[in-house]
Amino acid sequence: MASYGQEFAKELAAELRAQKARRKVSDEQISEAIGVHRVSVSRYLTGDRPIPIVVFADLCRFLQVSPVKLVDEAEQRTRRNP
């Protein structure tokens, strides 16, 4: 059974992927904009690697979405899927 933190991280990654899709941008475009290797971006967005807070802030800025909104959405989804 996954911990609450692991489930939350997966939901947060899912929210970021949804924003990426809405903005119609690639991992490569994100990588170039925030200065993080493309493979790392991919791993962050699939939930395979924890997202450092600094990278999370950069992702939110690039995707033009409030970090608070993403965290809130991920929190709600995590609570629905115990």
The verdict on residue 82 lying in a domain is no
* pTM > 0.85: yes
42: three-class secondary structure by DSSP: helix
| Token pair of 77 as six digits | 């989804």
Total domains, the chain: 1
User: In this structure, are residues 12 and 49 in contact, taking their beta carbons and an 8 Å threshold?
Assistant: no
Per-residue pLDDT tens digits of the chain, which is 82 residues long: 578 888 999 999 999 999 999 999 999 999 999 999 999 999 999 999 999 999 999 999 999 999 999 999 999 999 887 6
The verdict on residue 9 lying in a domain is yes
66: three-class secondary structure by DSSP: coil
Domain, as residue range, for 38: 4-77
We report the CATH number of the domain holding residue 16 as 1.10.260.40
